[in-house]
Structure 1
Amino acid sequence: MATVTLKGTEIHTSGDLPKVGTQAPDFTLTNTDLSTKTLKDFEGNKVVLNIFPSVDTGTCAQSVRQFNTEANKLENTKVLCISKDLPFAQARFCGAEGLEQVISLSDFKTGDFGKTYGINFIDGPLEGLLSRSVVVLDETGKVIYTEQVAETVDEPNYEAALNALK
């Protein structure tokens, strides 16, 4: 279990992020077209998992925008923006914002992604949603960087995540 804060108040997650150097756990998530995506679908690419509570909050929306901008500069890299938002909300947001470089995926069906990656909030006002985190994988699916943002309303460390790709 990890402890983070929401506006200074402690909240907890169901576990811990996968360790650097380990193989990333597989997942099954729902794309905005309602198709199913797994980690295997991105094999051979570097992958940035931008994980957050809800695209309908300012910080989460900004992280999607920022990673969309950065994705244009990345070779052989896919940026997956993952939340429990419905795929319809994710598609609406990215469509309205003109964000075409990121792939929005939802953990709404089973919540298994949040459980497997140890990032489901288990208490507090965001209970059941995903903790703001970034996980970076190399082309073989090995974890090369992780960050669970200590204060949920803060943005992730984009520079550190992107440097891990080099």
Structure 2
Amino acid sequence: MAQATFKGNPLTLAGNTVKVGDKAPDFTLNKDLVTEVSLKDYTGKIKLISVVPSLDTGVCDAQTRRFNEEAVKLGDQVVVLTVSVDLPFAQARWCGAAGIENVITLSDYKKHSFGKAYGVLIEEFHLLMRSIFVIDANDTVQYVEYLGEMTDHPNYEAAVEAVRKLI
């Protein structure tokens, strides 16, 4: 278990952390209340996975908007996934209101499969800790950023550069 903070207060992260070079752990996430997807649904694509606690917060909003803009520039070889525990219909509502069309939002609300597999499940809140993962077309982890403070922004440039190196 790793440690992180929310406004300086300690949080406990459950699950296994991943490192560059690891085979990406599989996961089960919801596209809607009944449709589930896993890592294999994105086989052959470079995956930029942006993990946020909740789309309805300022930093998560900004993070998702930023990667939505970047997704257009990265091309068809890349899929940008935003993962949170927000309910799928809340994600769809938020995307519609925000004009988000280039990232795929997926929910870990049901099983916390992603949170546990990637070591980002916050035990105290049952939310996901902000983090970024870049996984190549062969499902090997090529970039990882675990943020120590929940309210900090990730290093957008480093994540996008990690993707560009794989294109």
TM range (shorter): over 0.9
* Aligned with 1:160 (options 151, 158, 161): 158
Question: More helix by proportion, 1 or 2?
Answer: 2
Query: Is structure 2 residue 141 aligned with structure 1 residue 143?
Result: yes
**Equivalent position SS for 1:139:** coil
Structure 1's 12 and 62: CA in aligned 2 closer, same or farther, altered over 3 A?
same
Please provide the CA RMSD for this pair. 1.2
Separation in structure 1 between the aligned mates of residue 34 and residue 151 of structure 2, nearest angstrom: 29
1:1-166, aligned counterparts within 5 Å?
1-32=1-32, 34-75=34-75, 76-123=77-124, 127-165=125-163, 166=165
Question: Stretches of 4+ moved more than 3 A in 1?
Answer: none
| Aligned-pair identity (%) | 48
- AA in 2 matched with 1:105: L
- Asked whether the 8 Å contact 1:47–1:139 carries over to 2, the reply is yes
Under a length normalisation based on structure 1, what TM-score does the superposition of the two structures give? 0.94
Structure 2 regions of 5+ residues with no counterpart?
A: none
- Asked whether the 8 Å contact 1:34–1:87 carries over to 2, the reply is no
Write the deviation string for residues 62-106 of structure 1: whole angstroms up to 9, x where unpaired: 111000000000021001000100000100011111110000000
- Asked whether the 8 Å contact 1:32–1:104 carries over to 2, the reply is no
- Asked whether the 8 Å contact 1:32–1:90 carries over to 2, the reply is no
Structure 1 regions of 5+ residues with no counterpart?
A: none
Write the deviation string for residues 100-140 of structure 1: whole angstroms up to 9, x where unpaired: 000000011111211111111123xxx21111010110111
Structure 1's 85 and 129: CA in aligned 2 closer, same or farther, altered over 3 A?
same
Q: How many residues align?
A: 163
